[in-house]
Structure 1
Amino acid sequence: MRNRLLISAAVMTAVSGVCSPAAFAATPAGNQDTAFVQAAHQSNLAEIAAGQDAQKHALTSCVKEVGTKLVTDHQKLDADLKALADKSNLTLPTAPTAEQQQKLKAVQEKAGTAGYDAAWLSDQEAGHTKTLELIDQQIRAGTDDAVTSAAEKARPVVAMHLEMVRGGTCHVM
């Protein structure tokens, strides 16, 4: 029965494109954990894509290094989420949300210009801020210990990433 509920919630989440902190506040009890796994996975996919893009298009070595760090860290965090999803027979989305894809596309349009690095840093700051809000919501309201533990494990990594891009200034840590 629990697996059916998780699968139903996953389908509803995927269809509705849940990815914002406000959406989590409206998620009924019991679906919080599933919604978190779905949204965190999509955030990981978005950060991996953005990091790979920075490796190709950033003009500064700092942004390229931060991009590399994001790829490595988010691939590891996503592997943990995939393991949780597999244990619950939860199907994960195959791509970032439409909003995340659109934001990356807007940054990519500046590739080869001085504006790329600034746009990339700004987008990463906004994305990591939202992801921290999602993580904190899971820590407060999650009911699945394994999912909440994954959120607690991810929090310092995402917080470090935010510090690396805060204020539109690149800092390699």
Structure 2
Amino acid sequence: MALAVAGLTAPATAAAPVAGPDATFLKMIHQGNLDEIAASMDAQKHTTSACVKQVADMFVRDHTKFDVQVVALAHSKGIILPSTTSAAQQKQLTMLKSLHGKRDYDRVWLQGQDTSHRQALALIDKEASSGKVAKIRAAAQAVRPTVAKHLEAVSGGTCHTGKG
């Protein structure tokens, strides 16, 4: 009886939640996904460009799918994810929304996507090369081609940002 009670209070299979850089990666990439989804849904409604609409559709689809995986992975590792985007991301979306109906909307959206996807790739590359938790590292490696494709779409491959 004492063993059964001891087993209930401290099961041998309980693992401590993941912390450190791996947890930070999942939290930041989750916020990035939330931001990409929100900004892309805004673009779906307010762009005047067929190209931006197509790219926004792809981003909503891909980031929603990836975020489901991120949330499940975080849950399995005992990581609590933020429920909203960062203050900087919220400020950027507010600024984008102020451009509804204006000529600069598409250019600003594309430039914002270029920046955010470059930042995401840097996070992904760091996690893929130095992450300590194999499943999180593998998730970063698996999503890299999709994020690189997204960056190409906004940096000149599909739509042109109007840069240089």
Q: What's the TM-score once normalised by structure 2's chain length?
A: 0.85
What SS class does the counterpart of residue 93 from structure 2 fall into? helix
Q: CA deviation at 1:127?
A: 0.3
Matching residue of 2:108: 119
Q: CA deviation at 1:49?
A: 0.3
Contact kept in structure 1, 2:51 and 2:158, CA below 8 Å: no
Contact kept in structure 1, 2:121 and 2:148, CA below 8 Å: yes
Matching residue of 2:126: 137
> Deviation digits for residues 75-97 of structure 1, max 9, x if unmatched?
11111111111111221111111
Distance 2:122 2:94 in 1: 24
Contact kept in structure 2, 1:51 and 1:67, CA below 8 Å: yes
Identify the match of residue 141 of structure 2 among 138, 146, 152: 152
2:108 aligned with 1:102, yes or no?
Answer: no
2:114 aligned with 1:87, yes or no?
Answer: no
> Deviation digits for residues 23-76 of structure 1, max 9, x if unmatched?
xxxxxxxx1110100000000000000110000111111111111110000011
Residues 106/113 of structure 1: CA separation in 2 closer, same or farther (3 Å cut)? same
How do 1:1-173 residues align onto structure 2 when only pairs under 5 Å count?
Answer: 2-4=15-17, 6=18, 9=19, 31-167=20-156, 170=159
Residues 132/118 of structure 1: CA separation in 2 closer, same or farther (3 Å cut)? same
Q: What's the TM-score once normalised by structure 1's chain length?
A: 0.80
Q: Which amino acid in the other structure matches residue 26 of structure 2?
A: V
Q: CA deviation at 1:138?
A: 0.3
Contact kept in structure 2, 1:41 and 1:78, CA below 8 Å: yes
Bigger radius of gyration = 2
Segments of structure 1 that go 5 or more residues without pairing to the other structure are 10-30
C-alpha RMSD over aligned residues: 1.7
Q: Which amino acid in the other structure matches residue 93 of structure 2?
A: L
Distance 1:91 1:145 in 2: 19
Q: Which amino acid in the other structure matches residue 79 of structure 1?
A: V
Distance 2:15 2:24 in 1: 14
Q: CA deviation at 1:3?
A: 2.4
Larger deviation: 85-94 or 54-63?
A: 85-94
Q: Which amino acid in the other structure matches residue 3 of structure 1?
A: A
